Structure 1
Amino acid sequence: MTNIRYLSIDDISNYRTLLKRGIHEDLDVFAWKLQNDRCLAELNLQDLLSTNSNKSIVIGAFQDSVLIGAVTLIFNQSYSLAHKAVIENMCVMGENHESREYLAKQLMEYVFQICQKKQIEILMTSLISNNISGKVFFSNLNFELLAIEKFARKYEVGYVDEHWLIYYFNGEDMALFE
């Protein structure tokens, strides 16, 4: 049985290990911002996992006390932007494609529940353009293409493009998970 919950500072070691595995392509990654170890080093995991943060939540999926998936949900606290949230650094592991996709869908269901409670109306994410499985996954959850950002990120001398995806909550959202 999979247990999904908010991650805390107590999970920092397991979370770092999971993210490193995602960087080195041992996992299925969606909405991924961590292209190399330097990106991970720049990410302040302690702040991210702080229970005092009102800017973000990291959600983890556990199987027998082992962290097997995670996703970050980022909120904008500005008055005029508080109706939006962004998904980043979603990764899952599993024995096969079907089990990984099922786990990713469980994480997204949890994200949607949080968004409903927080009255989020718009959910966005971005994917590196060659992340075909990620684009298919989000498309199956009715995310739409918002824009293609050329040269979105620069790693050393190379650039990557990103596809920005958007989801508009409509009150019937939980039916996607039935």
Structure 2
Amino acid sequence: MPEIRVLSAADAPIYREVRLNALTHDPNAFLVDPDQYRQVPLETIEGQLSSELNGKFTLGAFLDGGLVGMCTFIRETHPKIRHKGKVVAVYVAPAARGQGMARSLMETLIARVRSYGDVEQIQLGVSHTQIAAQQLYTSLGFVVFGLEKKAIKQNGQYLDEEWRVLEL
């Protein structure tokens, strides 16, 4: 069973390594380019992981002490849309897939967001190429509320993105 916990600034070096692997080996799942991410100073990543400022947090899944999965929740800060937030940067390393790791991460994220008491929706976007992720999100209760055609253009190829919501 994985250990799932909120990442802190001390986790920045391992987070950076796993995130870079994600961006390199699964580019259709992320907007950020690996070369772009390599330029981000470690101090910036430490700052991003250092606190749950405004309801933002990143969960990490650990197996045998190693970080093998992660996901981030970003709560909206504007008063008129503070009742919702977004899930971004969901990733499980290939060697750890098929073991329920992404489900555990997402269930932990959903439970944590529910505990806030005033978040009503969790939204996320998922590329049409990410079939396993779509199936997971459907099984967790996320429903499609929109389809953005040609949402991403990478190496001359377009990717459509489904927008989903989980009503809490």
Q: Unaligned 5+ residue runs, structure 1?
A: 170-178
Partner SS for 2:11: helix
Cα deviations by residue, 1:137-178 (Å, 9 ceiling, x for unpaired): 111112111111122233464432211111111xxxxxxxxx
Cα deviations by residue, 1:104-153 (Å, 9 ceiling, x for unpaired): 11111111111111122111100112111111111111211111112223
| Cα distance change on mapping 1:20 and 1:116 into 2, 3 Å | same
**Partners of 2:94 and 2:156 in 1: how far apart?**
33
Residue 123 of structure 1: aligned partner = 122
Contact 2:23 2:30 in 1 (8 A): no
Partner SS for 2:59: strand
Q: What TM-score do you get using the length of structure 2 for normalisation?
A: 0.85
The reply to whether residue 137 of structure 1 matches residue 146 of structure 2 is no
One-letter amino acid of the counterpart of residue 115, structure 2 = K
Residue 111 of structure 1: aligned partner = 109
Equivalences for 1:41-120 in 2 at 5 Å? 41=38, 44-51=44-51, 53-54=53-54, 56-93=56-93, 95=95, 97-99=97-99, 102-119=100-117, 120=119
One-letter amino acid of the counterpart of residue 102, structure 2 = A
Residue 165 of structure 2: aligned partner = 166
Q: Would you say how many aligned residue pairs link Structure 1 and Structure 2?
A: 164
| Cα distance change on mapping 1:18 and 1:151 into 2, 3 Å | same
Contact 1:34 1:89 in 2 (8 A): no
Partner SS for 1:98: coil
**Partners of 1:144 and 1:52 in 2: how far apart?**
27
**Partners of 1:110 and 1:6 in 2: how far apart?**
10
One-letter amino acid of the counterpart of residue 131, structure 1 = Q
Q: CA RMSD in A?
A: 2.4
One-letter amino acid of the counterpart of residue 66, structure 2 = V
The reply to whether residue 8 of structure 1 matches residue 11 of structure 2 is no
Cα deviations by residue, 1:51-75 (Å, 9 ceiling, x for unpaired): 1632521110112221011000010
**Partners of 1:133 and 1:70 in 2: how far apart?**
16
One-letter amino acid of the counterpart of residue 80, structure 2 = S
**Partners of 2:90 and 2:52 in 1: how far apart?**
22
Residue 33 of structure 2: aligned partner = 36
Percent identity over paired residues: 24
